[in-house]
Structure 1
Amino acid sequence: MTTSSNASSSSSNRWRPSSWPSAGSSRRSTRAGGRRHHEDDGPVLWRVEQGLTLRLWRDSSHVSPRLLALRYRDAPGGQDARDLVPLRDGDAENEADGADDVRNCFYSGDVVGEPGSKAVVSLCHGMTGYIYSPSRGMFTIEPVNGGEDQDQRGAHVLRHHRGGQSAAGNSTQDSNSSAEAEDGEPSNSWSSSQQRGSATKRRRRRRKRSYSLEQHVEVLVAADSKMARYHGKNLKHYILTLMAAVAHIYKDPSIGNLLNIAVVKLLIMEEDEDNDIISPSASNTLKNFCRWQQQHNHPEDSHPYHHDTAILLTREDLCRLPKTCDTLGLAQSGMICDPHGSCAVVEDNGLSAAFTIAHELGHVLNIPHDDDQKCAKYRLASQPLHVMARMLDYNSHPWSWSACSRHYVTNFLDAGYGLCLRDSPGENLLVAPPSSSSSSRHSPSSKQAGELFNMDEQCELVFGRGAKVCPYMPVCKRLWCTVHGHPHGGCRTQHMPWADGTSCGKNHWCQQGQCVARPADADRRKRIDGEWGPWQEYERCSRTCGGGIQSTRRECNSPSPAFGGRYCTGERVKYRSCNTQPCPLGSMDFREQQCSAFNGKTFNFPDVPYNPKWTAHHSGISHVDSCKLYCRVVGQSAYYLLKEKVIDGTACNPESFDVCINGVCKPAGCDHQLNSTATTDMCGVCGGDNATCRTIKGHFNLAKFGYNFVTVIPAGASYVEINQFGFEKDDN
């Protein structure tokens, strides 16, 4: 990822909340799709200032109800003896409150009177979180004193972001600098070879239709010793605040799927453990962490502490090359259910690390960058880049997903690569148990990150102790900070927005990089679950003969999910066979046609001659790769992948009637109908009874040296079987 800088600034506003939800109350809740909803008359209404009122529901869906928080401690037996022990109340690295109280911290909702607005906050230790309004932009909010006072009505800082931001780019220089970061795309030789090596292990479930299913991404979050030292007792709460924002990003309906982020395990490392993982090379750190997390995972997917993917949060610099430490995130692409490769490393640079985490998880789910060539046909020049932007600038929008991201994650899940996501988490640190209650000083967390971390604290999370917010700078879009003792002085930014929920002026706060008003009216708008719209017309048949495929789809837009509502589940795409009549005799094989379309193109492959003629290649291709277009040059044995998917209706292989649909081999019969069981008889007749042909048998037993004339095989013969019973000294 690359960050770009524009002339911009930020401003802050200190305020005291005019109303605060009651703390310490225990409310009965019901479970609905991984989210806890409380059985009361409506949401919590929070007036930050005049014209800026939040409507918040408790939302701890990103925390497992049985979250396991662990850290390494020395065990009897010397330095080599290590134990994983639970984090207890009062541990320096643990939250001051218990696990149940932490789960009660998190809320999400919207700004009253602002359609399309969002709020994700924690209410523990004051209000910290993110607020977004389409009309006013992005805000972060946090307590002035870090939320340590018992009095939650203390002063808060609301920041309005107006600059550019980056979810995975890092800049430690002045505002005129730029930086790049790698994300472990297939160009990374180690990660790409791991992906190829595991491809044959993946299993796909055959389906005639495409279904939208509820998926649960069970996450282990590990933090290194620098994280523990830097955040101290606030570490657990800080990490869960980040993950609450990540979960909210994955709830945005633009992703086109129901994806729940569930933190099932939180592990704090000791310094000795860091030494085995952290490396000067970012790619080596990822490789070491991937190996480490696999050793700390339960092999059974149904186990409550099994994780589907793991994230390492570190305050160490991630370096692509020596002295090139501008990497903020690194992940392997498309490895979500691979126990060895489903992992990511993220550098902690403050509350905006939530965007990096969401971005890297996107790669693990096989989503490319928005500006990747793969996404060209899904992107209009006027459209902004989203979560998967390689470069997040002033016009980027990292709270929602592009059409390309939606396409690739949907295809990935439909192809069966996300089978490990089907089980519900037995433990989710971000979900409060029904009987839990919060103490008086840990009010239920409907707060966003900007309500929990004040502006100066947000600066400290990025630039270190003593950093302060720059006054008189544009608000919400970018967080500008001054760093005491920095040789260059002035204001600095990493192009990240203020956290949602930060105040940006009287009756205003930051939401998704914009400063938006908080309306005074308090109409109680409920969450809206999505419902399917009507089926569309079937698309054009993919073939003119030989069995093509047509598809129809429906959208989750009647209504679309809103205010934290669930995305639709169920059938979203249906397929049917078309043009099943046989092709004329002498017609070119359909796969051959697709290979020959590349005649004359070398693709800069080594050893491919000038003006090559391509032909289909079948032998040695595994079943899971049978719907990829492998071709070879006529007269050569080497073969190459020319397209990730053949055209729908292409036979999976010459020996089968099964056909490819959206890159997956689906069952079909000799009548070219999907899911048909029709087969050919001994005479080669589809559905025949062997009555249209006769069996010819014969024997040959002459011992004549050299070639021998045996018999003539009639034209049109099928099921030809030749057996040699042989001689004792026969050398054939």
Structure 2
Amino acid sequence: MEILWKTLTWILSLIMASSEFHSDHRLSYSSQEEFLTYLEHYQLTIPIRVDQNGAFLSFTVKNDKHSRRRRSMDPIDPQQAVSKLFFKLSAYGKHFHLNLTLNTDFVSKHFTVEYWGKDGPQWKHDFLDNCHYTGYLQDQRSTTKVALSNCIGLHGVIATEDEEYFIEPLKNTTEDSKHFSYENGHPHVIYKKSTLQQRHLYDHSHCGVSDLIKNGKPWWLNDTSAFPSALPINGTHIHHRQKRSVSTERFVETLVVADKMMVGYHGRKDIEHYILSVMNIVAKLYRDSSLGNVVNIIVARLVVLTEDQPNLEINHHADKSLDSFCKWQKSILSHQSDGNTIPENGIAHHDNAVLITRKCVESSGVSAKATAVSPTVFLQLREHSVKPGILKKGPSGGGKYCLGERKRYRSCNTDPCPLGARDFREKQCADFDNMPFRGKYYNWKPYTGGGVKPCALNCLAEGYNFYTERAPAVIDGTQCNADSLDICINGECKHVGCDNILGSDAREDRCRVCGGDGSTCDAIEGFFNDSLPRGGYMEVVQIPRGSVHIEVREVAMSKNYIALKSEGDDYYINGAWTIDWPRKFDIAGTAFHYKRPTDEPESLEALGPTSENLIVMVLLQEQNLGIRYKFNVPITRTGSGDSEVGFTWNHQPWSECSSTCAGGVQRQEVVCKRLDDNSIVQNNYCDPDSKPPENQRTCNTEPCPPEWFIGDWLQCSKTCDGGMRTRAVLCIRKIGPSEEETLDYSGCLTHRPVEKESCNNQSCPPQWVSLDWSECTPKCGTGFKHRIVLCKSSDLSKTFPAAQCPEESKPPIRIRCSLGRCPPPRWVMGDWGQCSAQCGLGQQMRTVQCLSYTGQASSDCPETARPQSMQQCESKCDSTPTSNTEECKDVNKVAYCPLVLKFKFCSRAYFRQMCCKTCQGH
């Protein structure tokens, strides 16, 4: 059992640990019997199988059905594997009533077991024994954890609030045979984890490693749930500060490798059961709520090494063993998989590799040597001792490993769309034209105004003055806005470089040339402050075709208005003495943004390039206070332009704080700029060796105002006829980037959200209700039972026509039955009739019939047993004639009278009359 606990501790600790480990003790036992002699204390117990109420069922606790299935097949047949089991055992003065549920989720549906010899894989299978369970102690669900396997007996861990108990079947030793009779159950060894720890305090002959968890309450039983338990102490309320994760459920697909020493100790027969029993415990503990996130440990692949591998060196040097194992496991990865699917060779992807060995591996600072060379985590485990702390470095900067479904995005179809092509966002809005909105149909166009999320699909009803969000997220690849190359992915705006590549750092220069140095255009700047009479349009500046980065801005607020027109005097903005609302205008092949804030001067901006010459005008209604303008016009140069122009790194202004409270971050991006006009160019124009680091500082560190945290509604207690559902409601205050504290409900000033409400109040549909079955008829043999089936309301108070209940779910009204085998048919005989002769020999008849047990005629009686229906009979004859005194004599002409007498025909009236004398007396 020490083997189980040590391996479990290794797996749990190594995944969580990141520090160096020291030496404490050495445990290396060659058998269970030897290990028990070193335990300070253990007990023997006989577990029994019981029902939910604790009633005895059987002494058999191991899985005798040997139900195996392929992981890739459909869910298990409940007839083959027991989904719920209950056991009882007693130890240390306590009674344990185990409530267990079959656990198949810790093994991947693509799970395989491979046996490797010296030359690689020898054979493999994908069968899994359904004998691994998790659960709790009956009536102690919230405070206990149980993970047991019953493949060859109960093997696992029972964790209570104050102690952890480990149990395994007692092997066939001389000790157990003296105390137990196997007819009354199989003895098991049970002992406390503390028994191991106490002994190790005095054991200095160690293997170079030590326990990470020294003592105290088991980490998986620490109650750190998200619900507050605010208890006043001395009148002061204690604020429970805790971190809450908003992450989703995690999945860690794991490769487990067992070396030949493990096979030699446990044997091929039990090695699979043993490894999966340990991983069943690990999977149970990592789903505990105390971790903050649900982590699903999934065994994707089990490799059993029956011989040493040529490229895998496992010895007492931890760092060498680690390096060798990391390289070896990488060599057996499939190179045909994209990380999301199972390749044709059937080898499943894994995030995490675990080696379990019985070699004594010493750790000497190996965790500091294990640098990250790939995003995969590699662990090495020693089965007979505790962890050496071998854990590869994880993602930097507080990142997380890529768990769950893997997705990669990349740019495609980066060529410009042809002229006249339909806008992608416009097409998405148009898809809603045939869907009613509040009972009416509209033609939808993209809403291009402000105040909305850039990656939500907001559409404007054409011909109406309202817009609405038709979808929370646009289709991946849609531009965030018309003035940017950035695209939406999963509802978030992602940066796209000017080369149309997702995540590229390629940027435009001041001339809007991707990757340019700013030498293909000249900057035009000016200030228009002419004093002109009021009451008319005045020209400010002409903007040539191809101009980019256009900015026109009043220097002070005024009653004047900026206007824009073409060379042909066609006004686009604020023409004909009509003032337009501030918005975006599509003019000359680019988007002009006309802004008129209530407390700032108005402005006109466009990225360009423009497709025609434009003229900026001003409608004067009062004295001209000044208008500043600037734009870049294209020029043609030979060579690189100004050869004397230099470039230098420059810090941009501080960005906005990433958070308004509880600690945000401001950054100063480092960009490459031209020295002559300070315009930004591609980074490759600056010396990369002299690039300064990006500046960063915290901001807005004050706590956020209290707010309500509202959890998701739990499932309704009833599906119809009115149930109740609840949710968690907490008053929280964010005090750090990833830290919050819970407050009294009074801390939140807004109305407290409801925590409980009724649900599914609709009436339940009618349902079929069956009355009792009638008696089986007939009384023997195959017959039928009948019953009445009614369509009733859910409360059984009303009866409905049968048509209101689903016909496909109607229970049967007649079934076959049998009360036992019926008696076979038999021959029945009547009484014999009268003899056909009044004197002498004759015949008599009787009836013979084949009748069933019901008295009905049958043809199933055996013909060989049929009784006779006719037999010979003889009547006594009188010795004197019955007629007158006429002489009795033979008729003279008859000469056969002697023969009549000889053949006994005298009984016949004719022969007796003709041979009266001969037959007289016979």
What band does the TM-score fall into relative to the shorter chain?
0.3 to 0.5
More strand by share: 2
TM-score by length of 1: 0.40
Of structures 1 and 2, the larger Rg is shown by 2
